[in-house]
Structure 1
Amino acid sequence: MSALDIQSIRKSYGSVDTLKAIDISLDDGEFLVLLGASGCGKSTLLNIIAGLAEPTGGDILIGGRSVLGVHPKNRDIAMVFQSYALYPNMSVARNIGFGLEMRKVSKEAREKAVLDAARLLQIENLLDRRPSELSGGQRQRVAIGRAVVRDPQIFLFDEPLSNLDAKLRTEMRVELKRLHQKLQTTVVYVTHDQIEAMTLATRIAVMRDGKIEQLGTPQDIYNRPATLYVAGFVGSPPMNILDAKVEGDRFTFPGCDETIAIPSRLQATVKKGQTVKIGIRPESFRVAGQQEVVGSLKVRVELVELTGPELVTSALAGNQTITACLPPNAEIETGSEYRLAFDETAVHVFDPVSELAL
Structure 2
Amino acid sequence: MSALEILNIRKTYGQVETLKGIDISLESGEFLVLLGSSGCGKSTLLNIIAGLAEATSGDVRIGARSVLGVHPKDRDIAMVFQSYALYPNLTVHRNIGFGLEMRKVPTAERDKAVREAAKLLQIENLLDRKPSQLSGGQRQRVAIGRALVRKPEVFLFDEPLSNLDAKLRMEMRTELKRLHQMLKTTIVYVTHDQIEAMTLATRIAVMRDGRIEQLGTPEEIYNSPATLYVATFVGVPPMNLLRTTVRPEGLQLQGVGTCLPLPERFKDKVKEGQQLVLGIRPEALRLEQGTLSIEAVPEIAELTGPELVVTALAGDQRLTACLPPRTPITYNGRMKLSFDGEAIHLFDAETGLSCLR
* Same structural fold, with TM-score higher than 0.5 when normalized by the shorter chain: yes
Q: Is structure 2 residue 29 aligned with structure 1 residue 32?
A: no
* Match of residue 336 from structure 2: 339
Q: Give how far 1:271 is off.
A: 1.0
Give secondary structure in 2 for the equivalent of 1:69.
coil
Note the alpha carbon deviations across 1:139-198, whole angstroms, 9 max, x for none: 000000000000000000000000000000000000000011111110000000000000
For 2:158 and 2:353, the matched residues in 1 are separated by: 29
Q: Is structure 2 residue 130 aligned with structure 1 residue 124?
A: no
Q: Which amino acid aligns with 1:164?
A: L
For 2:100 and 2:256, the matched residues in 1 are separated by: 67
Check the 8 A contact 1:249/1:267 in 2, yes or no. Answer: no
What count of residue pairs does the alignment treat as equivalent? 355
Give secondary structure in 2 for the equivalent of 1:5.
strand
Q: Give how far 1:330 is off.
A: 1.3
Q: Which amino acid aligns with 2:286?
A: R
Q: TM-score, normalised by structure 1?
A: 0.98
Give secondary structure in 2 for the equivalent of 1:205.
strand
* Match of residue 271 from structure 2: 271
Q: Give how far 1:279 is off.
A: 0.4
For 1:288 and 1:318, the matched residues in 2 are separated by: 21
For 1:170 and 1:332, the matched residues in 2 are separated by: 32
Q: Is structure 2 residue 257 aligned with structure 1 residue 260?
A: no
For 2:194 and 2:330, the matched residues in 1 are separated by: 31
Give the CA RMSD over aligned residues: 0.8
For 1:173 and 1:217, the matched residues in 2 are separated by: 18
* Match of residue 79 from structure 1: 79
Give secondary structure in 1 for the equivalent of 2:33.
strand
For 1:255 and 1:96, the matched residues in 2 are separated by: 60
Q: Give how far 1:352 is off.
A: 1.1
Q: Give how far 1:262 is off.
A: 0.8
Note the alpha carbon deviations across 1:57-90, whole angstroms, 9 max, x for none: 0000000200000000000000000001111111
Give secondary structure in 1 for the equivalent of 2:354.
coil
Equivalent residue in structure 1 for 2:354, among 334, 341, 357? 357
* Match of residue 303 from structure 2: 306
Check the 8 A contact 2:201/2:217 in 1, yes or no. Answer: yes
Q: TM-score, normalised by structure 2?
A: 0.98
Q: Give how far 1:200 is off.
A: 0.2
Check the 8 A contact 1:246/1:270 in 2, yes or no. Answer: yes
Note the alpha carbon deviations across 1:109-132, whole angstroms, 9 max, x for none: 010000000000000010001111
* Match of residue 197 from structure 1: 197
Q: Give how far 1:273 is off.
A: 1.3
* Match of residue 102 from structure 1: 102
Give secondary structure in 1 for the equivalent of 2:321.
strand
For 2:240 and 2:74, the matched residues in 1 are separated by: 47
Q: Give how far 1:268 is off.
A: 1.9
* Identity in percent: 68
Check the 8 A contact 1:258/1:297 in 2, yes or no. Answer: yes
Give secondary structure in 1 for the equivalent of 2:79.
strand
For 1:227 and 1:97, the matched residues in 2 are separated by: 45
User: Following superposition of structure 1 onto structure 2, how do residues 177-326 of structure 1 map, counting pairs within 5 Å?
Assistant: 177-289=177-289, 294-326=291-323
For 1:203 and 1:64, the matched residues in 2 are separated by: 22
Give secondary structure in 2 for the equivalent of 1:170.
helix
* Match of residue 156 from structure 1: 156
Give secondary structure in 2 for the equivalent of 1:273.
coil
Q: Which amino acid aligns with 2:31?
A: F
For 1:54 and 1:44, the matched residues in 2 are separated by: 9
Check the 8 A contact 1:306/1:328 in 2, yes or no. Answer: yes
For 1:89 and 1:18, the matched residues in 2 are separated by: 37
For 2:330 and 2:181, the matched residues in 1 are separated by: 46
For 2:19 and 2:218, the matched residues in 1 are separated by: 23
For 2:146 and 2:197, the matched residues in 1 are separated by: 23
Give secondary structure in 1 for the equivalent of 2:113.
helix
For 1:123 and 1:135, the matched residues in 2 are separated by: 12
* Match of residue 142 from structure 2: 142
For 2:64 and 2:262, the matched residues in 1 are separated by: 48
Q: Which amino acid aligns with 1:119?
A: K
Where in structure 1 do 4 or more consecutive aligned residues deviate above 6 Å?
none
For 2:332 and 2:130, the matched residues in 1 are separated by: 57
Q: Give how far 1:334 is off.
A: 2.1
Note the alpha carbon deviations across 1:289-344, whole angstroms, 9 max, x for none: 4xx6x511000001000000000000011100100001112112222211100111
For 1:207 and 1:223, the matched residues in 2 are separated by: 18
* Match of residue 167 from structure 1: 167
Unaligned segments of structure 2, at least 5 residues: none
For 1:309 and 1:336, the matched residues in 2 are separated by: 24
For 1:43 and 1:257, the matched residues in 2 are separated by: 45
For 1:308 and 1:82, the matched residues in 2 are separated by: 31
Unaligned segments of structure 1, at least 5 residues: none
Check the 8 A contact 1:6/1:61 in 2, yes or no. Answer: yes
